[in-house]
A and B are shown apart, each in its own frame.
Chain A
């Protein structure tokens, strides 16, 4: 059951409870008190339910109040026409509160998106500016001191420029992908893809400096129905993280009963179980990442890619190993 439905059930239960209490203590309560009691479920509902639901609940509440408590009791008619005005006011208050509550929640959403934008700006300015300042620094040293620096220094400056442009490129790719995936402006072309082949191209782009992942790929693993470019990007991000934050990187691709799974595992500096629940949010960086630069977008993009493929991304810690597992449903 969705959380909205649960809230609606709660509102009606509260109404039932208030009605019962009022009936039990009818001798001790006067009509005004009972009317106030009946406002409780209406206000509760106004805070948590939709406008139309509140309206229905208010009408039912007013009806119950009228039939059960207003003389003549057990009849829909009333002696004093002033009560009609009270009923209308009860319903109107419900509607006023509901629009106020909606406004408040909109403001909260705005505040949230403002916070996300803040985080975006902060990490953008830091994570893109750092490599950029390094590049600018190196190139200016090369330009201004062309004659006084030796070949070895020159090479090392050039190498730094090269490495930092690669870092920027990776950040920009992730940023563009997350924006594209979020806006849903992507008409995703899916095809039958060979898992082994995608893994091999992802390895080609991530294994550097003679550090390799160990592989365990089921022979004749079934293909998946997906967009190969994005799946490759997802595996690249998982492998990048594993190489960046951990050691002993292992990639397992398995054929399970109902799914094809691709899992990247690493040991080394492992985040806590509590932390990994937040790891797929945009711009969240885990405690093991403080000494390393990054945007906090890698896993978020993997998550988005999994979502558009109806695949699941499961992060877990098993025996001091960090595991990120993508599971795809099988193609029949």
Chain B
């Protein structure tokens, strides 16, 4: 069955454009022009993913997420028109799954949607081995293999790569990563994280000064690409 995607955006031309792009890539679309309509559509049409525009007339993105998260775990992809990093971080930490900044190409959008849907599915069948191209991570045995060769890693590096691979395609905020790996109270210690990311890049990136697997989202966090 084709996955259903709910588009919540008050601008008609953008709605049309997204519809065409999504249908061409094999998705069903449902439209909503404001937040209220969107919430009703979530209940009645049972979509698999929500594309949420931030400039809605009746509710801001934060309020919408808050309402939605009271009863639903549906993945939400934010369409943000302004480059406001603090807003993005806030939404990511309040239940948004990812964001994409306008103007974007449809290729980028489809890639994000696919990654998000895949991630949700992967979380449902909790597999203990995560694979991505030439990289294999075994959660039970605490091992990482690159090109079938075992990669020596410290426990923290393992933990970091595990989180990144588990959430492949999703941007993980500095705060969230620090909390998951070091626990509460280390939220300011971004440089710890940077050191470990750097070490991991040295080990798994073909060209560490131009990282293609672990991307930096400036001021926000890191994203594992594949």
Contact = CB atoms under 8 A, between A and B. Distances in A.
Interface of A: 162, 165, 169, 173, 189, 191-192, 194, 196-201, 203-204, 207, 215, 217, 223, 227-229, 232
A201 B83 CA distance: 16
Contact of A223 (B105, B191, B215): B191
Contacts of A189: 86
B72 interface: no
A207 B219 CA distance: 21
B209 A229 contact: no
Interface residues of B, number: 16
B190 A197 contact: no
Interface in B102-126: 103, 105
A165 B103 contact: yes
B17 to A, nearest CB: 13
A191 B103 contact: no
Contacts of A232: 218
A228 B219 contact: yes
Contacts of A192: 190-191
B209 A215 contact: yes
8 contacts: A189-B86, A194-B191, A194-B198, A200-B211, A201-B218, A207-B210, A227-B219, A228-B219
Contact of A200 (B103, B190, B210): B210
B194 interface: yes
A228 B83 CA distance: 13
A60 B218 CA distance: 61
A17 B105 CA distance: 73
B83 A229 contact: yes
Contacts of A227: 219
B209 A217 contact: yes
B216 interface: yes
Contacts of A207: 210
Given A189-B86, A229-B85, A197 B216 contact: yes
A169 B103 contact: yes
A194 B218 contact: no
A-B complex: 3 closest residue pairs judged by Cβ atoms: A228-B219, A228-B218, A201-B216
The residue in B105, B194, B211, B218 that gathers the most chain A C-beta atoms within 10 A of its C-beta is B218
Given A194-B194, A197-B194, A229-B218, A203 B83 contact: no
A223 B83 CA distance: 24
A234 B85 CA distance: 17
A308 to B, nearest CB: 16
A197 B190 CA distance: 13
A204 to B, nearest CB: 7
Given A191-B190, A215-B209, A229-B85, A200 B216 contact: yes
Interface in B194-221: 194, 198, 209-211, 215-216, 218-219
Interface in B145-195: 190-191, 194
